[in-house]
Chain A
Amino acid sequence: MPQQKEPRAYRKPLPHIDEENRPWWEAAQRHELYIQKCRDCGDLRFHPRALCTSCMSSRTEWVRCKGGGKIYTFTVTNQNQAAGFRESLPYVMAWVELDEGIKMLTNIVDCRPEQVKIGMPVEAVFDDVTPEVTLVKFRPAR
């Protein structure tokens, strides 16, 4: 019997979740945003990894972010031939600088692309794209 096709299947790439990054993705599912902080030298880092990139310590704590930040830079993408994206053009890709000082690549949502400006205050929104994966995106701060 042919498998029934899921309606509106999510076609964009999904992250590979492994033991090293799983706590981050589980937090995202709870709609919480974290970065890592070295317990020895205090350096902050993102994306998640097991060792501090400044002193190579394995002693890590997770710091919860408030979710606020501003747009460091962005682009309005009008052309992307990859499945999932070609159906959602134009979209805004951006590096957002969190108030904690860490930059994350993301999408800016819930606004018209022409409204997006560098320096614009934004806040995290949690997009549950599949039952297993929640992506952290940003919208203009309200």
Chain B
Amino acid sequence: MSLSRKIAVAGVYEHPTRFAPDKSMYQIMAESVRGALDDCGLTIKDVDGLLTAGMGMGPMGIVGFCDYLNLTPNYLDGTNIGGSSFVAHTAHAAAAIHAGLCNVAVVVYGSTAASSRFAIGTGGGHGGGDPCDQFESPFGPTTVGAYAMIAQRHMHDYGTTPEQLAEIAVTMRLHASMNPVAKYRDPITVADVLASRVISSPLHLLDCCIISDGGGALVITSAERARDLKKKPAYLLGAGETVRHAGRGQRDFLEIAAAQSGRLAFERAGVTHKDINMAMIYDSFTITVLSTLENLGFCKRGEGGPFVSGGRLRFDGALPINTDGGGLSSNHPGMRGMFLVIEAVKQLRGECGPRQVKNCKTALVHGTGGALGTRHSGATLILTNQ
């Protein structure tokens, strides 16, 4: 990719809140912007690009947030492709900076999903307005149900077990135990996951991400400018994004967006799977991780069950995943892509304390938005500190 190593994530901030009934979504967003600017030593006066999306915003929410912060940026991107939006925004910001449309872009997200009591996973049935929704919402598709159908098919085709999926949740909780701001930090076992109630078969409660409040922000600028700032830059090597849907009724549902976005990101980055020291994989549900790893090409299709077993995904394993505890244990304020980028950057800087991945030079980020079992987006980034 022609912009490879030319653009960097210079500042990141994860809002520490997990429950903020005293704050608005906009306040959490603004505090996150302030935190990310402080992190790299820039000020709000330097920001000339803004990218955001949200669950609690209206269709013109980005304009409302500019009003809130009294911003008049030269570049705006309100792309909303679900929880992966902020992963895609990172690539969009890089392209905009590379093209000269802006110099310092902020990507921001905030939400009060927990204190506003959003039923994200099991509140299905509201019925969207798109043509496809007219043929789905009458049948009660919940978010968890749509992912559960992928798990069911994977188990049927490849013999993947509930225990293998459960190990993903157990690993995320181990990582959360080393993250002081994670929402759930007490260790769990495979038996705990299997004993939790089945929300939508074959997924148990502990196969599902949590609901929290939260927010975060990224500051993105040219590599040249980033090198003079406070923190070690995380350079963008490659990126890709796409969608998958029912495909006019002819889709192979186990082939997901990550297959395409991941291939593009690796090609554009000029690196291979062996070069990846850790990965942040959107873990809306345990099956999301397994399916994404297969589709990104870390293992062959059908081999995800054995691949995620035996501690491979632990912070000290062969392919550390979601070292912050992920959406399964740390935070999931409705959309989570933001935190994937933040933790990857922190790992590349060596800021992760007890959960730090040793010798972490290159990280992969993959966000999934929407639902694997109906329609979804996927966005992949590869970042390096080299």
Total interface residues on B, using CB and 8 Å?
Answer: 42
Whether a CB of chain B sits under 8 angstroms from the CB of A12 is yes
As a 0/1 sequence over residues 114 to 142 of chain B, the CB contacts with chain A under 8 angstroms (1 = contact) are: 00000100111111010110111111111
Whether a CB of chain A sits under 8 angstroms from the CB of B58 is no
* Complex Cα spacing A2 to B132, Å: 37
Whether a CB of chain B sits under 8 angstroms from the CB of A58 is no
A105-134: which have CB < 8 Å to B?
105-107, 118-119, 129, 133
Residue of B nearest to A101 (CB): B250
As a 0/1 sequence over residues 135 to 166 of chain B, the CB contacts with chain A under 8 angstroms (1 = contact) are: 11111111011001110110010000000000
Whether the Cβ atoms of A80 and B124 lie closer than 8 Å is yes
Residue of B nearest to A15 (CB): B134
Whether a CB of chain A sits under 8 angstroms from the CB of B248 is yes
Distance (Å) between the CB of B277 and the closest chain A CB? 35
Whether the Cβ atoms of B131 and A107 lie closer than 8 Å is no
Interchain CB contact (< 8 A) of B139 among A72, A76, A93: A93
* Complex Cα spacing A79 to B131, Å: 26
Whether a CB of chain A sits under 8 angstroms from the CB of B253 is yes
Whether the Cβ atoms of A20 and B131 lie closer than 8 Å is yes
Determine the chain A residues whose CB is within 8 A of the CB of B201 once the complex forms. Answer: 75-76, 78
Known interface pairs A75-B200, A93-B141. Does A44 touch B250 (Cβ–Cβ under 8 Å)? yes
Interchain CB contact (< 8 A) of B134 among A21, A80, A83, A103: A21
Determine the chain B residues whose CB is within 8 A of the CB of A53 once the complex forms. Answer: 248
Distance (Å) between the CB of B97 and the closest chain A CB? 35
Distance (Å) between the CB of B113 and the closest chain A CB? 14
Whether a CB of chain A sits under 8 angstroms from the CB of B69 is no
Whether a CB of chain A sits under 8 angstroms from the CB of B197 is yes
A76-99: which have CB < 8 Å to B?
76-85, 91, 93-95
| A-B pairs under 8 A by CB, number | 134
Determine the chain B residues whose CB is within 8 A of the CB of A76 once the complex forms. Answer: 198, 200-201
* Complex Cα spacing A45 to B160, Å: 31
B239-255: which have CB < 8 Å to A?
246, 248-251, 253
Distance (Å) between the CB of B288 and the closest chain A CB? 15
Whether the Cβ atoms of A47 and B135 lie closer than 8 Å is yes
A1-49: which have CB < 8 Å to B?
12-17, 20-21, 35, 43-47, 49
B198-243: which have CB < 8 Å to A?
198-203
Whether a CB of chain B sits under 8 angstroms from the CB of A63 is no
Known interface pairs A13-B138, A105-B139. Does A81 touch B122 (Cβ–Cβ under 8 Å)? yes
Whether a CB of chain A sits under 8 angstroms from the CB of B374 is yes
Residue of A nearest to B199 (CB): A79
Distance (Å) between the CB of B371 and the closest chain A CB? 11
Interchain CB contact (< 8 A) of B132 among A43, A47, A81, A101: A47
Whether the Cβ atoms of A102 and B134 lie closer than 8 Å is no
Known interface pairs A13-B138, A107-B140. Does A49 touch B131 (Cβ–Cβ under 8 Å)? yes
* Complex Cα spacing A16 to B129, Å: 8
Given contact pairs A13-B138, A16-B129, enumerate 7 new A-B contacts (beta carbons under 8 Å): A14-B138, A43-B248, A47-B249, A49-B131, A73-B150, A93-B145, A105-B139
* 3 A-B pairs with least C-beta separation: A82-B125, A13-B127, A15-B134
Q: Chain B: residues with CB nearer than 8 A to chain A? A: 119, 122-127, 129, 131-132, 134-142, 144-145, 148-150, 152-153, 156, 197-203, 246, 248-251, 253, 373-374
